[in-house]
Structures are given as structure tokens and as C-alpha cells.
Amino acid sequence: MASRATSRPVGTVTRGTTNPNRLRRMDRWIAATHGRELRRAADPVAVDLGYGAAPWTAVELLARLRAVAPRTRVVGVEIDPARVAAAQPYARDGLVFRHGGFEVPVPRPPLLIRAANVLRQYDEGEVGAVWERLCARLAPGDAVTGSAGGLLVEGTCDEIGRRHVWVALGPEGPRTVTFAARLAVLDHPSDLAERLPKALIHRNVPGEPVHAFLRDFDRAWAAAAPYASYGARQRWIRAVRALTADWPVTDGPGRWRQGEITVRWDALAPRT
């Protein structure tokens, strides 16, 4: 029998703030970029880690993933047992709720772990260990089948999901950083700085890559001002296209039209 110390969930209770539709931008990106991996699996499992005081995000994740990969099952994991109990009436075919934390209590490696607004309360120095622990729980890649393995998506958004920044990590570690916004209410791309994940938010200072990126993004946004007459989306697309000259942008116009830009992690990673 496991000892009490080893069976205790790993992590601390979050504030639990949540709202319906808050994670739509992240979910939309996951479905578009990771849907193929979910579809090719016989029994794909996704984890909504730290869903909060209400289970809306887990319920929505199931619907959005099943739209692109109908066999997907979602496990909502919360460290607060009262939240797990409160979520049980929302359990359904393909959706269960479990008590746990960063140990991710699922029977086999998941193809997706989504951890939104979970690490915000932790110290920056703790993030690397949490990432490493969660990445170790992901389904591994397979060179024979061409599978890239599981995906950890960890990031932060505002209370109603208009501004969102997340890091995507595979079993090997961080891969990309995505910035997403509701463009109609965006004054400057650097407004997204307040939603940087914990690994980056304290690095938005001169001399750090993420600061230089947001500075260049604001300059490209200003240069694209004439396109605003065609709408904020056209201005965003033009600004992002300009950034591709100096930054390793990994996506294309199809994603830019959604108010997104994804950049390689190694271009924005903190300097040691």
C-alpha cells in the first residue's frame, strides 16, 4: 500500500477562477495543431489539469476535441477534493473527474495535458521542474509511426479569454510559444505581456528575447497601421508577416487569421 506521503497529490490549490468559454483560443489551437495525433490514436486521453472551481473548461475541452477526434476522452484533474466532488454531476461519456495534481493520476500516458492558469501562482524557479514532471507523463513519440507523442500546453489568459499566451511542450521539452488575442480590442501586441506564462513573465525586460520580440511586434504593428482600414485582422496579418523576417514564426496565414502567432521556444527562452 502506498504511504500517505507518496499518495498525496503534488502541487498546491489554485484560486480556482474560471469562466465558460475562457479557454476557447487555446482549445481551438490544440484542435487544429494536435488533432491529427488524437485522431490516429485508438483511445486518446486528454487531461484538463487544474480546471478550477467549476468544470466548464473540461466540459468544453471534450466537445472541442471530439469535433476533430471523436474517440477522445477527457480527464479533469483537480487538487482540491471539494472541486472534484462538485464536478461529478457533469461527468458523462468520455469525461471523468479525478483528485490529483502534477503526478497526473491517469492509468496511461495521455496524448494531451492542458494546464491553463495553473502555474501563475508558483515561483519562476519552480516551473522547470513542473514542466519536466508533466512532460515525463506524456505519451512518447514513435519514430516508426511518425508520432510526435503527447503535448503539454501550459499558459495564462485573462478572465474572459481575450488575451492568451501559452507554451507547447513535447516529451522532449518546450517547442513553441503562442500569442493569441481578440484583435478588435487589442491596442498593441505588447498588451499580451501581462499574460505571459510564469516562465516568461518576469523576463519581459531589456536584454531578454521575449522583450525584444514584443518590441519588434509593436513596431511591426505600428508600421501596419494603414491596413487597419481593412480591419484589425488584416493589420495583424501584415504585422506578423513582417516579423517572419527576423523571428522563427512556425505557423502561417491560416492561424494568423485567428489572431495567433506561434514562435519557436528557443527564440524566446530566457537567457541564463
Task: Give how many domains the chain has, as a whole number.
Answer: 1
Tell me whether residue 227 is in a domain. Answer: no
Q: Identify whether the C-beta of residue 8 lies closer than 8 Å to the C-beta of residue 74.
A: no
CA–CA distances in Å: residue 267 to residues 82, 112, 248: 41, 24, 7
CATH, residue 47: 3.40.50
Query: pTM score, two decimals?
Result: 0.94
Question: Does 233 reside within a domain?
Answer: no
Angle at 194 between CA 163 and CA 128, to 5 degrees: 100
Q: Does residue 111 sit within a domain? A: yes
Tens-digit pLDDT string for the chain (272 aa): 333 344 789 888 887 678 899 999 999 999 999 999 999 999 999 999 999 999 999 999 999 999 999 999 999 999 999 999 999 999 999 999 999 999 999 999 999 999 999 999 899 999 999 999 999 999 998 876 778 899 999 999 999 999 999 999 999 999 999 999 999 999 999 999 999 999 999 999 999 999 999 999 999 999 999 999 999 999 999 999 999 999 999 999 999 999 999 999 999 999 97
For residue 176, what are the domain limits? 4-188+248-265
Structure-block grid coordinates of residue 89: 454531476
Q: Per the domain annotation, does 183 fall within a domain?
A: yes
Residue 204 counted as domain residue = no
Query: Has residue 272 been placed in a domain?
Result: no
β 163-170/173-181 pair status: antiparallel
